[in-house]
Amino acid sequence: MTKYLHINHPFALESGETLPSLTAAYHTYGKLNANKDNVIWICHALTANSDAEDWWPGLVGKGFTLDPDQYFIVCVNMIGSSYGSTSPKSVNPETGKVYGLDFPLVTTRDNARFFALVADYLGINRIRLLMGGSMGGQHAGEWACLQPDRIELLCLLATNARHSPYGVAFNESQRMALRADATLGTDAPDAGRLGLEAARSMAVLSYRHYRTYDATQQPTSPDDIDDFRASSYQRYQGYKLWKRFDPACYYALTRSMDTHHLGRGRGCSEDALGTISSPTLIISIDTDVLFPTEEQAFLSRYIKNSRMDVMQSDYGHDGFLVETPTIGLLLAAFLVDQLQIDEGTKHAFTDGLSGRSFAIPGTEEV
């Protein structure tokens, strides 16, 4: 069941704007033990919600690695989302009107500060394990930089230290699709629907992989010349998101993801990662085109006490949601302090992944 926390004081944002008050929608599973040392905090991804047991089946729940009989599991809906926390769907108490597209820019660092504030209100001083995948991993990384002494263990899945130009380009392309829908931000019954459906279709291409489509979306017949399975699949993915997510929230969250840069105000990303003191498990996916393995190698190279594991998956970036048996095994060992790090091997491995050179047209190789 979703719980709500209302914080009735201003929350300053990195942009210089202020949210007059905040609402946090969240789920908890299990009970906080007497020592208050069994907290697992999960940061959800872009369009997920705070019900981690629902969207991470096989990993969160009784009998699985993150078992509420053993741990007190917390997941808070990020600011800007459609699922109950303060967002473009909220009424601005200063104007009495819904924020809509006027919702202020909220950075990934703002959301990390928001989670830390909610933890304060919930009386949680120490977090046994902080974890997140994709945008959730960006939030977890920010929080670990903000409050390194609060986090005992850290797990980062399919994420990065800064959102890449490639990722920003994907997000801007989606926002172009949203803006091309003249109903976005209006009072029309289906306002923003076509734009959101097109945006989601673009996004799914970055979440999956060639092999995913090749295995699941082959034409029903070699004689097909129209209405291909892959075409209907893209339309279905767009419609499915429209049924559950607000277009203005999607617009806001893609902007938020673009702001992600651990090095902002901290010198550089390398220096920021160097402040993380928690033993850190970094999980990468070999077919991830949106958050490729070299991004996780960079994290592991500069987080001193870290280990990186690369999962094989045919699901691309979405492997962090699908490959729960593998993730569960890696986490189970990690939670009993079996993080084994050979610095020489680690550096050779991460250097091999992150030290690639690319020829840029019109320039010398860099």
Binding-site residues: 200, 318
Catalytic annotation present for 278: no
CA 128 to chain centre: 20
Binding-site annotation: residue ranges for substrate:
200, 318
8 A C-beta contact, residue 146 and residue 54 = no
Set 258, 288, 300, 306: catalytic member: 288
Set 139, 260, 261, 317: catalytic member: 317
DSSP one-letter string for 87-141:
STTSEETTTTEE-GGGPPP--HHHHHHHHHHHHHHTT---EEEEEEETHHHHHHH
Catalytic annotation present for 347: no
Distance CA 114, CA 109 (A): 9
Distance CA 157, CA 129 (A): 13
Q: Which residue has the tokens 């279905």?
A: 236
8 A C-beta contact, residue 144 and residue 151 = yes
8 A C-beta contact, residue 315 and residue 323 = yes
Q: Which residue has the tokens 């010398």?
A: 364
Set 50, 82, 87, 134: catalytic member: 134
Query: Nearest-CA neighbor of 299 among 164, 156, 140, 177?
Result: 156
Quick one: tokens of 150? 């609060």
Catalytic annotation present for 134: yes
What's at 323, amino acid-wise?
E
Element (H, E) at 329: helix 324-335
Query: Nearest-CA neighbor of 291 among 77, 140, 133?
Result: 133
Distance CA 230, CA 220 (A): 10
Query: Nearest-CA neighbor of 195 among 231, 238, 154?
Result: 238
Distance CA 257, CA 134 (A): 10
Catalytic residue list: 134, 288, 317
